[in-house]
Amino acid sequence: MASNPLERIREQQAMKLLDALQGDLRAQMRLDNDELDRNGENEKASVRRKARIARLSDPQERERIWSRELLPSYEGTAIRSLPKNRAFWREIDVSVWRKDELNAACTLLDLPTNGKKLELIARIQDWVHEPEILARLEDQRLLELQQDEILASERVFAFGSNANGELGLGHRRACELPTEIESFRGAHITNVYSGFDADFAFARTEDGQIFAWGGAGRAIFDEAMAKIRRSKVQQQQEEQHDKAGNRINGDLCFLFPRLIPNLSSKSLVHFACGRTGGHVAMISDKGECFTWGRGEYGELGTSSCESGGKAFTEDLVRVDHLRNSHIATVSVGSTHTAAVTDKGKLYAWGSCVSGQLGLGEAKRAGVKEKRLQLYFPTPTIVEALQSKWITRVSCGATHTAVVSADGQLFTFGCGDGGRLGVGSNDDSLHPQLVSSLEKHVVLDVCCGSWHTLCVAREREETFPVRAPRRVLGVSASNNDSSGGFVFAFGSGLRGQVLCMFTV
């Protein structure tokens, strides 16, 4: 008898079904016997009856009946009867299975069945990739023996939540302390990129190669061409595996950084990421702007939603409306995008419902269809800032902040939680000057979902004491050699503004 309550219930149901079938057969046998007494032996009926009895006594036949009537199945086969072969399970997308199907799969694979649906999916995926994970861990152990040779190069560290492999460490355990991504040793990483609500990340090497990881197995660009990043030591180990005939193919395991060749060929120099399941924007060394991902609200800047095209693109697309401009920097929110040209002009596109585009409208005028009124599908210049030379832009989930060349900070969009820094929780359709920083030169700005951070230095000796609040003891620098201080404003419910008390 199974120890799992669910399995016990299933066994009880199966026994009831078998009892019912046997009862039907016994009743049929009585009827057949009565018929036999009246009319004599019917040879064909007797053969059929004996065959049915024989089939029912066969354990495999009972298993087939039980599986057909009660147990979760995959393509007509009971899940509990599927092979425990990693190559077989690698081809199955368990992310679309029901929880009872996932439970059956976990039982088959000797995995725990407790927990929520996403936890069951993660266990199965981790089981599928277990050989690759163990092989990488062994490679990392070997790397420790050659630290002196490779520690001179840049190193990449990650920490925080890791439920979907976003740390690139080969496992899903959260890390409370900075932990090195061992496979990047010797790679000469110059930049790493992620978003305010993203479960994936990108890295760029000195020679322009692009790596991606995380995302819980969802395809990131050209999945078929993705290749795991390997150090020299790992390559030597894999050559030995090849000679021994036991090569483990870990190229597609999302828990490790993977080389994305079709991105590396674009000479990309900057990435902007927002949220999981959202979109990504990129800039090439020629100042071209590219986007990829979800675009129901025009955030890709390609007019695809306007023309009835796909709301999601699996390929990198160029924002053609900016082809005559050289883009210096770009940022993305949940459903909007903003870019700055090398001439200091600010363009914005995507959702406008909270004023996050700074165009003075929460609905697009001159459009009949209500849904199309909610966004601007192509890059639109922000007229209110035409007189300013914009140097920095950062998008939060539903708000935007920009820095001008004269050191002023402007914010617009959703004002919930005080994220605009203007002393109000109201939304702003137009760019507003953060007046409490007028006596400071703002050097840079960064937006989260519910808060905003900026780096500024004093113009004069006096220093404002009202919000935005200076984060005491924290200093930072930008291209300006004089450096500055970090200011924070917005929601502090999770301690993101680093003040002595919650905003």
Reported as a single tens digit per residue, the pLDDT across 272-287 is 998 888 899 999 999 9
At 356, which CATH number?
Answer: 2.130.10.30
| Per-residue confidence (pLDDT) for residue 40, from 0 to 100 | 58
Indicate if 313 and 399 belong to the same structural domain. yes
The token duo for 60 is: 């495999």
Q: What angle do CA 499, 481, 347 make, to 5 degrees?
A: 75
Domain co-membership, 321 together with 470: yes
Q: What whole-number distance in Å separates Cα of residue 499 and Cα of residue 470?
A: 8
Question: Residue 246 has what pLDDT?
Answer: 39
Answer whether residue 196 is part of any domain. yes
- Which of 70, 97, 117 represents a domain boundary (last residue)? 70
Domain count of the fold of the chain: 3
Task: Point out the domain boundary residue: 241, 260, 279.
Answer: 260
What is the residue-wise DSSP string for 461-482? S----SSSEEEEEEEE--SSTT
Q: In angstroms, rounded to a whole number, what is the distance separating the alpha carbons of residues 89 and 378?
A: 42
**pLDDT of 255:** 86
Q: What are phi and psi of 289, to 5 degrees?
A: -110, 130
Task: Let me know: does 444 contact 467? Beta carbons within 8 Å.
Answer: no
Q: Which of 464, 463, 462, 467 is nearest to 498 (CA)?
A: 467
For residue 174, tell me if it sits in a domain.
yes
Identity (one letter) of the amino acid at 270?
H
Place of tokens 């700074």: 358
Beta bridge partners of 203: 192, 211
- Residue 224: predicted pLDDT: 41
Asked, for residue 400, whether it belongs to a domain, the answer is: yes
3-class secondary-structure state, position 434: coil
Domain-terminating residue out of 234, 260, 286:
260
Task: Name the token pair of 403.
Answer: 């820095």
- Residues 137 and 249 placed together within one structural domain of the fold: yes
**The pLDDT of residue 473:** 37
Q: Is-contact 201 181, C-beta < 8 A? A: no
What is the rounded distance in angstroms from the CA atom of residue 272 to the CA atom of residue 336? 12
Does 89 fall in a domain?
no
Q: Say yes or no: 210 and 290 in one domain.
A: no
pLDDT in tens, 251-275: 457 888 988 888 888 889 999 998 8
Query: Is the same domain home to 318 and 359?
Result: yes
Spans of the chain below 50 pLDDT: 222-226, 228, 231, 233-234, 237-238, 241-251, 307-309, 462-481, 499-503
**Whether residue 58 is found in the same domain as residue 182:** no
Instruction: Let me know: does 203 contact 191? Beta carbons within 8 Å.
Output: yes
The CA distances from residue 159 to 76, 166, 168, in Å, are 43, 9, 10
Sort residue 229 into left (φ over 0), alpha (ψ -120 to 50) or beta: beta
- How far apart are the C-alpha atoms of 363 and 369, rounded to whole Å? 11
Say if residue 32 is in the same domain as residue 63: yes
The CA-atom distances, in angstroms, between 6 and each of 115, 118, 325 are 14, 19, 62
Residues 44 and 145 in one domain: no
Q: Vertex 118, ends 114 and 121: CA angle to 5°?
A: 85
Nearest to 311 by CA among 298, 322, 330, 323: 298
Classify the phi-psi angles of 298: left when phi > 0, otherwise alpha if psi is within -120 to 50, otherwise beta: left
**325: Cβ–Cβ under 8 A, 6 or more apart, which residues?**
287, 341, 342, 343, 345, 347
What six digits make up the tokens of 101? 């199907």
CB 220 within 8 A of CB 226: yes
Residue 379 near residue 349, CB atoms below 8 Å: yes
Record the tokens describing residue 453, joined without a space.
């951070």
Q: What is the spatial distance between Cα 50 and Cα 39, in angstroms, rounded to a whole number?
A: 19
Give domain status of residue 209, yes or no: yes
Residues 152 and 196 placed together within one structural domain of the fold: yes
pLDDT at 38: 62
Residue 124 lies in a domain: no
Q: Are residues 369 and 469 in the same domain?
A: yes
User: Which pLDDT does position 146 carry in this prediction?
Assistant: 62
What is the spatial distance between Cα 404 and Cα 345, in angstroms, rounded to a whole number?
A: 10
**CA–CA separation, 15 and 65 (whole Å):** 11
- Decide: pTM greater than 0.75: no
Both 240 and 280 in a single domain?
no
Rounded Cα–Cα distance for residues 457 and 396 (Å): 23
* Alpha carbon distances (Å) from 136 to 157, 188, 228, 250: 17, 20, 10, 9
pLDDT of residue 136: 81
| Tokens coding 165 | 């492999």
Does any domain span residue 337?
yes
Strand order in the sheet with 440-447: 440-447, 451-458, 484-490, 469-476
Structural domain boundaries, residue 397: 266-490
Same domain, 349 and 435: yes
CA 364-367-370 angle, to 5 degrees, is: 85
Residue 125 resides in a domain = no
CB 321 within 8 A of CB 286: no
**Helical ranges in 80-129 per DSSP H:** 86-90, 99-108, 117-128
Reduce the DSSP state of residue 60 to 3 states and report it. helix
